[in-house]
Amino acid sequence: MPNNYMIDSLDKNILRILTNNARVPYTELAKSFAVSPATIHVRIEKMKLAGIITRTIIELNPKKLGYDVCCFIGINLRSAKDYSPALEQLEQIDEVLEAYYTTGHYNIFVKILTRSIDHLQQVLVNKIQAIDEIQSTETLISLDNPINREVIPI
């Protein structure tokens, strides 16, 4: 399947529903759009092959699991060549949920979740700042996450 697969209005409608609830049965989608379940199946498989749909996940509520502190850490590396080794070590830290290679003030920007401020301090000092390739960090604690959504196909 080519990477330049162009989605049409049916694909967009399928994606809109699946981003809200990935467990909607194909038969229900088919009824909504007056097509066969096989058509829905084929469309979803084509979007998977094209890399438009990359995975199906269960969304967890971090607070219900005891993770009360969300923060973002801007990381400055000692040099540009330190990116890959630092990233490999950051991937080994369970609390690191996302990492971005950025322009501007930081080389890497990560999102982490911890159970408490004490846990945050332990992760920061004993795990993140212990990475030799990291020169400095700046931590920003999130107070709220009022907007949290997936990209909506236009």
CATH class for the region spanning 62-141: alpha beta
In this structure, are residues 100 and 108 in contact, taking their beta carbons and an 8 Å threshold?
yes
pLDDT, tens digit, 9 for 90 and up, residues 72-101: 999 999 999 999 999 999 999 999 999 999
1-59 in CATH: which number? Answer: 1.10.10.10
State the pTM of this model: 0.83
> Which segment of 13-17, 53-57, 122-126 scores lowest on mean pLDDT?
53-57
Q: How far is 43 from 46, CA to CA, in rounded Å?
A: 5
Q: How far is 59 from 61, CA to CA, in rounded Å?
A: 7
Domain residue ranges in the chain: 1-59, 62-141
51 contacts: CB under 8 Å, gap ≥ 6: 3
Average pLDDT over residues 58-76: 95
pLDDT, tens digit, 9 for 90 and up, residues 99-153: 999 999 999 999 999 999 999 999 999 999 999 999 999 999 999 999 988 887 7
